[in-house]
Amino acid sequence: MRDCSSTTEWHRSAWAADRQTPACPSTSASHYYVVAEHQLGKLSIGESNKGLAVVGNTGLSPSKPLVVEGKPEDSVYHEKGLGLAAKLGLKPGAGRDKPVARPSLPEPIVDGRKHYGLFNVAGGFQKALDQLAETGGTLQLPGGRYPLKKALELPSKVTLAGHGVGTVLYAANGYKGTLITGEGIEKSAVRSLTILGRYDPKAERAPAIDLRASGAIHIENIDIRGWEGDGIHASGATVTVRDSRVIGTAGDGYRLSGGKVHAKFSLAKSCRNGFVLENVKESGKVEGCVARSNRSSGLTLKDVANPLLIANNSGYNNGDGILLENVTGGHVVSNLCRTNNQALEGRAGIRLAGTASGCTVAYNHCSDDEIHASQAQGIIEEETAGRNVIRFNLACPMFMNHQPGNRPAPPALIAEGKGSIIKDNQDRSVMPSGSSIESIALGFDEHPHKISMRKAGLKGQEKQARNGLNSLTKLLEDTKKRAASFASQAAELRKKQDPANAKKLQGLEAQQRRFEGEVAKYVPKLELAKARHSIAANRLKKIEQERNIRIARYTLMEARWDSAPAARIKKAEEGVKKAEDDLEGIHAAIARAEKIVADLGTK
């Protein structure tokens, strides 16, 4: 995972994989990299590099020491690191010159097509699984879509396999249970299946896969989408989950527990929590996984002994990127935890909570590249935690120097535990300050997420006011038509001059006066409704126009920054003036409507 090849990919965190590299090319203007424990021929660092963590890099051999050219500014730079590659037994990455062979399936392999039954509650596959319980082996489901009214019960020493996205299981109408289950099993596996739900965030449904083993279980290449509960529940002496994807579930993506748990190269997106490891007695390992845009935390480890979290990407989650609660020992190394805390509830890229102790947190990239960061804290160690080592991490948001109202930037790393070693972390933003082109141009007075929430609220108000205006307009038009109808009928009777129609004429004239009176009452109400709708609509326009002004100002600043031709600068200035004049017009329209509301409200 080299991280010295691009000035645009600020977010990557490099560490142990592919660590033998002949040379690292120079980068002239790079910010926010982790380059740790590489084996290199030469390391070239450009003069404009800032905010880096360059730690523990060595030469290719004792006879070929590392040649370092340049030194980064405002960065963490150490020739010696923590020696974690050797301590954790990690080897340099090796290239592949041919595809990896597909894992073989245990024999005998039973063809599911011979057992399929359209009207069977379990598709006819349970009988085949029961037969394999005596010998072990594999039931391979054919491609197709199979509604289940009952869970497939997996026996010990049996593998249930499909054909990837070609084999789809889903719950039949009315069935609320799990689709694949197993109790007290060992040496069992589920491979290459797809499970689909009908996503309903309020639904309460059993997990899609629920395996409770006494021995080892293996789950691989499973695709779960839109399930109305948790995706995968698995517990056992040894639990392995790899190359799987859980997307858009109402519950958690993965909930894993047992003796040894290993989650590898898997994805959890748009779930409640992404990955949850809990009550793991011996060791828990999460490697190369992605947890993104989940409604709570990305990776949660609770009551886990000796965990290793390495090379994971956990970002844009509402809660923490990585949460360690009551964790003992272990390592959190070379993870990317960016732009979390989307719900703005004081969460962090990595948070050590409860009695988390004896953990080494190193070489992690916990930054935030938003102009106004949601993840203000890269790392938090709560006061109940302690005796942890937190070193050589990038913990600061990139643009945190810019704060509304020139308020001081909050601390990027908070460590309140006792007996911990907290040092050599990059916890200060070195990106452009509040006077930069980005900050001046954007000039947010409130957080963009709050702007979005306010915009959503105004859309609701505008829709409500529009519906009220439309209803009142229709009512007024109907009342006018009825008044005109009675007036027309009365006029026709007057033309006849028949005394016998006198009483009927009086009735028509009375109805005419009645509806004309109602019209007179509705007119000011309609004016009030129009004013209220105008206020809501223009407040909504105001938010969009403020955005247009920011864009126009940015265009002008960019033109001046680039020393553009005078014509381009003049056009940009005119764009700013027009955007500002349009905003003044919106303000004036709001003021006129508010005056109408105030005047009519007092009558």
Determine the Cα–Cα distance for residues 339 and 482; give it in Å rounded to an integer: 61
- Please provide residue 423's backbone torsions phi and psi, each rounded to the nearest 5 degrees: -160, 165
Closest CA to 33 of 56, 58, 53, 55: 53
Q: Per the structure block, which two tokens stand in for 590?
A: 């709001």
- Please provide residue 164's backbone torsions phi and psi, each rounded to the nearest 5 degrees: 65, -130
* 3-class DSSP assignment, residue 125: helix
Return the CATH number at 234. 2.160.20.10
Q: Give kind and range of the element (H or E) at residue 450.
A: helix 448-496
* 3-class DSSP assignment, residue 578: helix
Q: What is the pTM of this model?
A: 0.69
Same domain, 579 and 489: yes
Same domain, 86 and 113: no
Give residue 89's pLDDT: 79
Q: Percentage of the chain with pLDDT > 70?
A: 84
* 3-class DSSP assignment, residue 317: coil
* 3-class DSSP assignment, residue 313: strand
Out of 433, 463, 492, a domain closes at 433
The DSSP output letter for 154 is P
For the segment 252-282, what is each residue's pLDDT rounded down to a tens digit? Answer: 999 999 999 999 999 999 999 999 999 999 9
In a domain, 267, yes or no: no
Cα-to-chain-centroid distance, residue 537: 30
In a domain, 259, yes or no: no
| Residue for token pair 């109202």 | 405
For the segment 101-147, what is each residue's pLDDT rounded down to a tens digit? Answer: 777 899 999 998 888 776 666 667 898 999 999 999 999 999 999 99
Give residue 448's pLDDT: 57
State the virtual CA torsion across 560, 562, 563, 565 in degrees, nearest 10. Answer: -90
Rg of the chain on CA atoms, in Å: 33
In a domain, 458, yes or no: yes
Query: Concatenated DSSP letters for 392-419?
Result: S-B-S-TTTT--GGGPPPPPSEEE--BS
pLDDT at 23 over 50: no
Same domain, 80 and 207: no
Same domain, 227 and 113: yes
Residues 6+ apart with CB under 8 A from 74: 50, 51, 428, 430
Instruction: List strand residue ranges (DSSP E) for 107-166, in order.
Output: 109-111, 137-140, 144-148, 152-153, 158-161
In a domain, 514, yes or no: yes
Give residue 117's pLDDT: 72
Could you tell me the pLDDT band of residue 534, with boundaries at 50, 70 and 90?
very high
Out of 33, 64, 93, a domain closes at 93
Same domain, 523 and 402: no
Determine the Cα–Cα distance for residues 172 and 188; give it in Å rounded to an integer: 25
Same domain, 373 and 400: yes
Same domain, 189 and 276: no
Determine the Cα–Cα distance for residues 154 and 542; give it in Å rounded to an integer: 59
Residue 152 and residue 124 in contact, taking contact as beta carbons nearer than 8 Å? no
In a domain, 41, yes or no: yes
3-state percent breakdown (helix, strand, coil) of the chain, nearest 5: 30, 30, 40
| Residue for token pair 């142990």 | 16
Same domain, 392 and 351: yes
Same domain, 32 and 111: no
| Residue for token pair 């509830």 | 345
Same domain, 188 and 301: no
CA quadruple 549, 551, 552, 558: dihedral sign: positive
Range of the domain at 23: 1-93
Residue 327 and residue 351 in contact, taking contact as beta carbons nearer than 8 Å? no
Q: How many domains does the chain have?
A: 4
State the virtual CA torsion across 370, 374, 380, 382 in degrees, nearest 10. Answer: 180
In a domain, 217, yes or no: yes
In a domain, 84, yes or no: yes
> In terms of C-beta density within 10 A (0-12 exposed, 13-18 middle, 19 or more buried), how is residue 95 classed?
exposed
In a domain, 550, yes or no: yes
Q: Which region, left, alpha or beta, applies to residue 596 given φ > 0 means left and ψ of -120 to 50 means alpha?
A: alpha
Give residue 407's pLDDT: 61
pLDDT at 11 over 60: no
Same domain, 109 and 87: no
Q: Per the structure block, which two tokens stand in for 338?
A: 């960016």
Q: Give kind and range of the element (H or E) at residue 504.
A: helix 502-561
Determine the Cα–Cα distance for residues 364 and 36; give it in Å rounded to an integer: 10
For the segment 548-586, what is each residue's pLDDT rounded down to a tens digit? Answer: 887 787 777 767 766 778 898 899 889 989 999 999 999
Length in residues, the chain: 603
For the segment 479-532, what is each residue's pLDDT rounded down to a tens digit? Answer: 999 989 988 988 888 888 888 888 888 888 898 899 889 988 888 888 999 999
* 3-class DSSP assignment, residue 442: helix
Determine the Cα–Cα distance for residues 154 and 188; give it in Å rounded to an integer: 8
What is the 3-state secondary structure of 324-360?
EECCECCEEECCECCCCCCCCCCCEEEEEECCCECCE
Same domain, 144 and 3: no
Determine the Cα–Cα distance for residues 377 and 226; give it in Å rounded to an integer: 32
